Amino acid sequence: MSFNTYGHLFRVTTWGESHGPALGATVDGCPPGVPLDEAAIQVWLDKRKPGQNKYTTQRREADEVEILSGVYEGQTTGTPIQLMIRNTDQRSKDYGDIAEKFRPGHADITYWQKYGIRDPRGGGRSSARETAARVAAGGVARAALAELAPGMRILGYMVQMGPHRADPARYDWDQVAQNPFWTPDAQAADDWAAYLDELRKSGDSVGAMIECRISGAAPGLGAPIYGKLDTDLAAAMMSINAVKGVEIGEGMAAASLTGSENADEISMGANGPEYGTNHAGGILGGISTGQDIVVRFAVKPTSSILTTRQTITKAGDPAEIITKGRHDPCVGIRAVPVAEAMAAAVMLDHVLLHRGQVGDGPRGRIG
C-alpha cells in the first residue's frame, strides 16, 4: 500500500529528498545471520556514485552509507536494517528558476498539481538521487543472496544509447567493468563516447536501453498470475526514474513472432531440462525456468537540458526555460547499478516467498 515501498517478504522503503539532510532505505525482512557491513554495501554505491567521469553529473557526493540498525557483530539479526546516506553537496542555488517554472518532461508539474506543495530543490523526492537508496538496499539483497542462492549472478549493462545499439556478436562480459557505460561491446563504448561528447556541447541529453541478466536462478522461483517474476521485475524497473518501457526475453518483438519461432524447445541435460533458445527470457507463466532471466528497459533522456523549451509558470503565464546546473547527459548510465539493485531485491524476495510457500527447492522432479 505504501507508495514508497517495494517487495513482499523482503521489503524496502526508500525515503529522502535530493537536497534534504539525508536519504536512505528501511530494509525489512532480511533473513538473520547474513554477514553484512558497510563496506559490502559501499562497493555498489561507489559504482553508482556521481562525478566519476565526464559523462555523469558533476555533483560531488561521498555517498557514504551508515548502517543504523539491524546488524550486530557483523551479521543481520532479522530486524529492520536502516541505511542512511547524508547529502553533503546541496548547492540548491542552482535550482532557483525551477521553483516557479515547470520543466517540460519533468515531474515538477504533476507533483505540484497532485500535492499543492513540493520540494523544488533538485527535484526533491523525484530526483534520481533517490536511487542511491535503492542501490544501498540492493547491497543487502546481494549479501543475502550470497547465502541463500550462492550460484546466482546479476549483471546489468547498457545495450543502446540514442540511435546507437550495441551488437551482441561483440559482447564480452569482461568488458562491462572496463568502460564508463557498463557495456559488453567495447566498440559501442567508443562510439557512445564520441556521440556523447557532441551531445554535451549542444546542451542536449539522450535516452538509453539497459539490460539486466540474472544467471544461476533455480527453476521454480516466481508465482502465477499477479505475483509473476516478470511482473515484479517489470514493476521494479518501471519504478526507476525516467523508465518508459520494460521487456522480458523477446519483449515487444514477441509481437512479430510465430508460435513455431518463439517456443523454446526442451531437451534433457545432465542437470535437468535444457532449452535450445531463450525467447522466454528465463520465465514461463511467471516462474523461472532455470535459464538466464533477461529483463530490458528504456530510459528516456533527462528533461533538464540547456536547450530552451516553452513552458508555463505556476501563475499560468508562458515562459521559456533552460535548466542549468549539474545534470547527466545520459541518465541511463547510472541506471545500470540501479537495475542490478532492483533485480537483486526482486530475486531475493522470490527466493524467500518460494521457501515460505513451497519449502526449500523445487518440488516437482523431472527425470
- For residue 298 the three cell numbers come to 528504456
Q: Does 204 bind a second copy (CB under 8 A)?
A: yes
Q: Does 199 bind a second copy (CB under 8 A)?
A: yes
Q: How far apart are the first and last CA of the chain?
A: 43
- CB nearer to a second copy: pick between 174 and 223: 223
Q: What does each C-alpha distance from 146 to 32, 220, 237, 366 come to in angstroms?
A: 13, 18, 22, 27
Q: Does 66 bind a second copy (CB under 8 A)?
A: yes
Element (H, E) at 259: helix 259-262
Among 93, 115, 169, 271, binds a second copy (CB under 8 A): 115
- CB nearer to a second copy: pick between 174 and 272: 272
Give the count of residues interacting with a second copy (CB under 8 A). 159
User: What b/e readout covers 235-254, taking b as 16+ CB neighbours within 10 angstroms?
Assistant: ebbeebbbbeebbbbbbeee
Eight-class DSSP state of 101: B
Residue 261: how many other CB atoms lie within 10 Å: 11
205 in a known ligand binding site: no
Q: Does 169 bind a second copy (CB under 8 A)?
A: no
Among 166, 298, 343, 344, binds a second copy (CB under 8 A): 298
- CB nearer to a second copy: pick between 186 and 254: 254
Q: Does 216 bind a second copy (CB under 8 A)?
A: no
**Closest approach of a second copy to the CB of residue 165, in Å:** 9
Span near a second copy by CB under 8 A; candidates 37-45, 72-80, 90-98, 179-187: 72-80
Q: Residues 315, 290: contact at Cβ < 8 Å?
A: no
Span near a second copy by CB under 8 A; candidates 35-43, 49-57, 166-174, 201-209: 201-209
**CA 281 to chain centroid:** 18
